[in-house]
A and B are shown apart, each in its own frame.
Chain A
Amino acid sequence: MAGGSVFECKEYLFKVLVIGELGVGKTSIIKRYVHQLFSQHYRATIGVDFALKVINWDSKTLVRLQLWDIAGQERFGNMTRVYYKEAVGAFVVFDVTRGSTFEAVSKWKHDLDSKVKLANGNPIPSVLLANKCDQKKESSNNTALMDNFCKETGFLGWFETSAKDNINVDEAARFLVENILANDKGLPYEESNGDRIKLDQETVAAESKSGCC
């Protein structure tokens, strides 16, 4: 919106999920990204939490990023269908200091892909975040491995992040938004505002029904 003519400015609302095992730092990443903060004192997320980041993408584009912070414990996985609805992008987070959280990445990715798709049937763009990289001990170089993993599992890419030290959080977000926007290009303009993606015919129908009240 900055500078440009208001009339030409396009606004987008993207729902982006942040998922991954418990305690990997999902909430911290979101708070860092949205509020530029880091704290040791976040509460465990129960159910789901939300945050909104408004990005002046370029002079003609405003992006509202709705970040959905989803509880990491497995049993909340039962509710993910509701949480995932109409999402257009996702971060899958793991903790580099805990191998088990990386092993769970595939599980989360699979859950994601099985429950939400783009209008064209493709999986929603997702980015892998290797969080807590500030705590990484050995500086082993497994870039190639990770690249390969992403290719196999269907991630657009991955970032080593640290919510604590503010490493790569903005970059990862930018990368994801770029991809979401790229997907968006294929869609007609009118649908670019608000509920852009039709994921579910039912819900659309439901909305039109209830819209009259």
Chain B
Amino acid sequence: MAEISTLSPSPPALGEHHAAPSIPPSSSVHTATNIPAPESAREMPTPKSYLYNDKALTENTPAPPPLSPKPDTPSEAWKAELPSTPTRAEHPSPTVPLIHEPELPLPRPRPAPDTLSYLESASLMSGTLESLSGLGEDGSSVGSDSEINGMAVRRTDKYGFLGGSQYSESAEKDVRVDVARQREVKWLDMFHNWDKWIKHRFQKVKLRCRKGIPSSLRAKAWQLLSNSQELLDANPGKFEELEREQGEAKWLDIIEKDLHRQFPFHEMFAARGGHGQQDLYRILKAYTIYRPDEGYCQAQAPVAAVLLMHMPAEQAFWCLVQICEKYLPGYYSAGLEAIQLDGEIFFSLLQRTCPMAYRHLKKFKIDPILYMTEWFMCIFSRTLPWASVLRVWDMFFCEGVKIVFRVGLVLLKQMLGSVDKLRELQGMYETMERLRNISPDTIREDILVQEIIILPVTEGLIERECRIQVRKWKESRGELTHQPGRRLHGTRAIFEYKRRAASISSGGSFSFLGSQIPPPGPLRASSSLLSLPGFRRSKAPFHSQTKKGSFSGPSGMEGLMHQSQPAVTSSPERGLSHKPPIPPGAGQREQAPHIPSTLVGGAAGSSRGPAQATEDNSAQGQPTAVAPTQSTAPPPSTLSPSPKIVSEQITSTIPSPTANNAPLLLIPDSKKEAVPAADATTGEEDVKKKKKNKEGKKKEKEEEKKKMKEKKEKEKAEKERLRKEKERLEKEKKKGGKKKDKGGGEAEDKNGDAAARDSA
């Protein structure tokens, strides 16, 4: 990564700056009601960007030890990096619900009073904390207005919760100040050389994530870990563009119904029409436009809300995109097959890790989806005490879905893992009650994390189980109807994925990718540099990526990998996992005809200034030329491409950074197709776009049929060709390798080790 801004670490004493009581994220929290003068004074409106920019440091903070390691650079760098940090003022009308007039476009003429009241309160601009009085367990004791005055005095906990089951009662022991500061320094250092850290010292990064990311740097870390930062950089203005679109009434309707039902006890989301709810609306709506084929799933809202507690809407949006597409593909899609499948996988893993709990659940016929749906879909954000949520998310962003499985397994083990515990749970209902009301005491943050770390559930295991369960699914329920993209297991996998894309595009030999040349940038060189070892190394990890299914996903990475690994084609099915060499016969879920990652915003890549350019340039820069081909050329492996998948929606979507790998499969004739498609996507006018896209669609269908026939032949040819390419690249590498990167080989080995360890 070329430049990562320096953030000045916040004084540890501050705790969670984003939720620090002294600076509520939402300026609207104060109401006309019962908040005493001193309270409202402290809650003067604060521009959000201000808040997010670690302003906690400079603002009216009690900040005891003034301690940035690099006191000067920070704020500026950050500012430069987030030039468009949205503030309220910058994002006025069309996107904000209150001006949105959601009822108008809807078929139903009568406005729902519910909505009206929502709009009404929103129009007060301030939002209101309606009767947030009792603040008991999850709202159970809320409701009685008699206590309303008591509430005014009430402060948030250090995470911004006013009450509810996730309110953190007593101050948990904080990390010691010096330790905290040390960690911040370490993290800042990693930020500076992010890609290198991921490439060469991922184990260390992982370790640090497991220790907990310093709260002051969490937002930045999450964005880097998920690679959403690059997406953001590569798509300037895209979010605003999405916001300007009208959106589909059916989604907006549901989203609006959900706005006030996300973390109702968090100060940011408590107020109807408050900033938190408005931002939630913005990003959820934007996602439905970004991925019209996915639409909105209710479980996305809590996830989005957690992100919003840490970062501005635009950043949160891209982060959400990464979660939905890379970390948990298919979780929120219509049909919810992916989550059901994971339920089966989970149950099977439980049998291994805690037979007692397994037998108990089986005995009472408690299907996994009865308890794990919310856990997994919301990434435990509604289940665990908040401190634990954050720790889990830190690890999740780094290590991927494995963490989600592990947390679930640890919880079951804690709840149902001993005879004593089971004795009082003689029944389905009792058991469910226990699982749904996990007492914070039984899952102290430290213990939980420790348990998660030692649990021997690896990516390889998950993938293997996945293949088994997919097979069972097919036997009992038939084909999966929705095939999401391949699941990437965390930062490392995302990085590899991106790097592969970069290496191919920078290799120069893949001219068929189109005329588009990866945009220049400081990292251009380094990306190619980096890419070579990765290229070589990719053999092992992607062993299982074979032709058959490997082509799936939104990002078409499978195809890419397949391409880059021509030698390895024997395995009959493609694998979900990339890491450890996996036995043939991988999961099916990624046959994925649905093609999420195409892009329109792709143009962004080229318009970036060099200063902004990051390593992924090569990957990002391509999208304009390349990604469109995806829409014109559906994955060959798709047997029955649904027309839905190929709809024009694709045009309006955005590229994933790796989108450029898709075309690889279509090599011979893809060029022709790619051109018109590219035009369509880059075209300024929507109409034009759509038209062309429709044409593309038709073509696509035809092509598809043809392709299916030719698929096998083509693949052979491709393999052949790719092999040559590869050889060529390797030669090149040998030539340049020595001088270019002395430590390359070493690092590679390290990486190998790391990967091996990781997957062990």
Contacts and interface: CB of A to CB of B under 8 A. Distances in A.
Interface of A: 22-23, 31, 35, 37-44, 46-50, 52, 66, 71, 73-76, 78-79, 82-83, 85, 95, 97-100, 132, 135, 137, 203, 206-207, 210-211, 213
B429 A50 contact: yes
Given A47-B374, A98-B114, 4 more contacts: A39-B140, A44-B262, A46-B298, A47-B369
27 contacts: A22-B258, A23-B254, A23-B258, A37-B140, A37-B141, A39-B140, A39-B142, A40-B131, A41-B164, A41-B270, A42-B261, A43-B139, A43-B262, A43-B382, A44-B301, A48-B373, A50-B436, A75-B334, A78-B335, A79-B369, A95-B112, A97-B110, A98-B108, A132-B114, A135-B113, A206-B365, A210-B362
Contacts of B382: 43, 46
Contact of B429 (A39, A46, A66, A98): A66
A73 B297 contact: yes
Interface in B101-126: 108, 110, 112-114
B759 interface: no
A97 B359 contact: no
Given A43-B382, A210-B362, A50 B262 contact: no
A78 B297 CA distance: 13
A79 B436 contact: no
A52 B335 contact: no
Contact of A99 (B108, B131, B270, B299): B108
A100 B143 contact: no
A100 B363 CA distance: 40
A46 B340 contact: no
Contacts of B333: 75
B704 interface: no
Interface in B354-398: 359, 362-363, 365, 367, 369-370, 373-374, 377-378, 382
Contacts of A210: 359, 362-363, 365
A47 B333 CA distance: 14
Nearest to B257: A23
A167 B382 CA distance: 30
A207 B365 contact: yes
Nearest to A47: B373
A42 B110 CA distance: 25
A44 B336 contact: no
A100 B257 CA distance: 13
A42 B140 CA distance: 9
A46 B377 contact: yes
Nearest to B433: A50
Interface string B427-458: 00100110010000000000000000000000
Interface residues of B, number: 52
A203 B366 CA distance: 11
Contacts of A52: 429, 433
A85 B140 CA distance: 28
B119 to A, nearest CB: 14
A22 B299 contact: no
A61 to B, nearest CB: 19
Contacts of B299: 46
A185 B261 CA distance: 41
Given A39-B143, A41-B132, A47 B297 contact: no
B159 interface: no
Contacts of B378: 46
Given A50-B432, A50-B436, A213-B359, A41 B297 contact: no
A41 B136 CA distance: 11
Nearest to A64: B429
Contacts of B164: 41
A110 to B, nearest CB: 19
A44 B261 contact: yes
B260 interface: yes
Contacts of B335: 75, 78
Contacts of A46: 298-299, 302, 373-374, 377-378, 382
Given A40-B131, A99-B110, A207-B365, A82 B139 contact: no
Contacts of A82: 367, 369-370
B229 to A, nearest CB: 28
B559 interface: no
A43 B130 CA distance: 15
Contacts of B334: 74-75
A97 B114 CA distance: 8
Given A41-B139, A47-B370, A100 B108 contact: yes
B496 interface: no
B346 interface: no
A79 B336 contact: yes
B363 A43 contact: no
Contacts of B110: 97, 99
B736 to A, nearest CB: 51
A63 to B, nearest CB: 14
Given A98-B108, A213-B363, A42 B139 contact: yes
Contacts of A37: 139-143
B337 interface: yes
B265 interface: yes
B114 to A, nearest CB: 6
A95 to B, nearest CB: 8
B264 interface: yes
A136 to B, nearest CB: 9
Nearest to B163: A41
B559 to A, nearest CB: 28
Contacts of A49: 436
Given A44-B258, A46-B377, A23 B114 contact: yes
A164 to B, nearest CB: 10
Nearest to B132: A41
Determine which residue in A37, A38, A40, A203 has the highest number of CB atoms from chain B within 10 A of its CB, and name it.
A40
B363 A78 contact: no
A88 to B, nearest CB: 14
B108 A78 contact: no
B298 A43 contact: no
B273 to A, nearest CB: 13
Nearest to B355: A213
A16 to B, nearest CB: 12
Contacts of A98: 108, 112, 114
Contacts of A78: 335-337, 340
Nearest to A32: B143
Contact of B254 (A22, A41, A85, A135): A22
Contacts of A42: 139, 261, 264
A71 B257 contact: no
Contacts of B362: 210, 213
Contacts of B142: 37, 39-41
What 7 pairs across the A-B complex have the smallest Cβ distances?
A47-B373, A41-B264, A23-B257, A44-B261, A39-B139, A41-B139, A39-B142
Nearest to B106: A100
B265 A41 contact: yes
Interface in B235-289: 254, 257-258, 260-265, 270
Interface in B272-324: 297-299, 301-302
A137 B113 contact: yes
Interface string B644-684: 00000000000000000000000000000000000000000
